[in-house]
Structure 1
Amino acid sequence: MPGSPARPGGRREHRDAAPPLSHTRRSRMSITAAMPTAKERPRRTRTKRVSHLPAIRLSSLLPSHIDLHDPLKPSLVCRDCGTWVPITGMQSKTQKLVPHHTGRADVAAAIRCRSSNRRIEWDMTIPEWHQALTDAVKEAASRQATTVLPKAFSPATDQTLRARAQRTPAGRLADWNAVLPRVAATDAHRQVAPAGDSPALSRTVPLDKLKITH
């Protein structure tokens, strides 16, 4: 090709040739490293944008998901992303959540939360929130696990278990020897054939031991 520089050996180098594979990998690595991450959430914003989503009522949230200890710097847990988000506009007519990403700052990807600039409806006062938070803490403390005591045995069961624990091998042998006569009598009654046991039109069954002859 005219104008292309010559390489050793008489071959010419094309200017539009594909870059080396190592160069492509380096470019991909640099692009991946430059991906934006979630930014730190500001306390105040000057944007006039308001989300079209319905306003969040404080009474609909758990008391533990609201932080009103500093009335000028309140925050709450966002319903959509589940993270703490500051509330801006405390000295203006409209209070709303600041624009924020769904993940932690400088860690997660920069994905904007759909509840950014969402209005807040103050349907409870700070003393009411304090009281609700105190009640929630007391209720959670009352639900703590307690020690479960085993159920007591009945008197008959307790007596049986105590007697079983006090028995010795000699005592067990004596008990077994005491019931041996009754066991022998039961076996003897089982060997007696009742009257009319053999069929009338068949050969009788021998009661002595069978002898097999070849």
Structure 2
Amino acid sequence: MTITSAMPRAKERKTRTRTKRVSSLPVIKLSRLLPSHIDLRDPAHAVLVCEYCETWCPITGMQSKVQKLVPHHIGKADEADAIRCRGSNRKIEFDMTIPEWHQALTDAITEASSRQATTVLPKAFSPQTDQTLRARAQRTSAGRMADWNEALRTVADTDSSRRLMPAGDAPAEAPAVPQTSLRITR
């Protein structure tokens, strides 16, 4: 396909979103956020976690007077509707320096690693449990068959005693069981 002067051309677009709009929500102070929710390793491309949608959002205007979160949406791309997040265009106040943030992050990592258990100790067995487990481990298949045969004999004895009928038509301490059915007549 050849390009002619009659072909439409795409309009040049700005490389960044530049808007003077600012959110009416209170200013975000970096000292009030968790150090793990801020990334200032590359100050030109600083990012932080939006407290409304909990996604990492870049900070615009790092060389200008006003720094703020970029406008962003709540839903995931191609999955949800494009709904603007409340935290968009929210001002950010840099009340800590990059070395202070780095020290706070190091302290948080040290504290978190000290809380984590290094080894998991197994729960101790009671003496009865230990004895049962040792006895179970020492049993052989012949011993298990002998126990099973003994259980079968006990079951057979119980079944045969259940089949025996008592002498007489009623138990010794109860009234006699009626032999004819009762019918109500009107």
TM-score for both structures, normalised by structure 2: 0.56
Equivalent residues of 1:51, 1:116 under 8 A apart: yes
Across the aligned residues of Structure 1 and Structure 2, the Cα RMSD in angstroms comes to 3.0
The residue number in structure 2 matching 1:92 is 64
Instruction: Structure 1: give runs of 5+ residues left out of the alignment.
Output: 1-41, 166-214
Q: Establish whether residue 147 from structure 1 lines up as the match of residue 120 from structure 2.
A: yes
Q: Establish whether residue 70 from structure 1 lines up as the match of residue 42 from structure 2.
A: yes
Instruction: Structure 2: give runs of 5+ residues left out of the alignment.
Output: 1-13, 136-186
Q: Secondary structure at the match of 1:72?
A: helix
Deviation at 1:106, TM superposition (A): 3.2
The residue number in structure 2 matching 1:58 is 30
Q: 2:81 aligns with which of 98, 106, 109?
A: 109
Q: 1:133 aligns with which of 93, 105, 129?
A: 105
Deviation at 1:118, TM superposition (A): 0.3
CA distance in structure 1 between the partners assigned to 2:42 and 2:78 by the alignment:
26
The residue number in structure 2 matching 1:49 is 21
Structure 1 residues 70 and 102: alpha-carbon distance in aligned structure 2, compared to 1, 3 A threshold: same
TM-score for both structures, normalised by structure 1: 0.49
Structure 1 residues 125 and 95: alpha-carbon distance in aligned structure 2, compared to 1, 3 A threshold: same
Question: Matches of residues 183-202 of structure 1 in structure 2 within 5 Å?
Answer: none
Structure 1 residues 59 and 110: alpha-carbon distance in aligned structure 2, compared to 1, 3 A threshold: same
Structure 2: which amino acid aligns with 1:147? V
Give deviations 1:58-88, integer Å, cap 9, x for gaps. 1111111111111011010001111111100
Deviation at 1:149, TM superposition (A): 5.8
- Percent identity among equivalent residues? 70
Number of residue pairs aligned between Structure 1 and Structure 2: 121
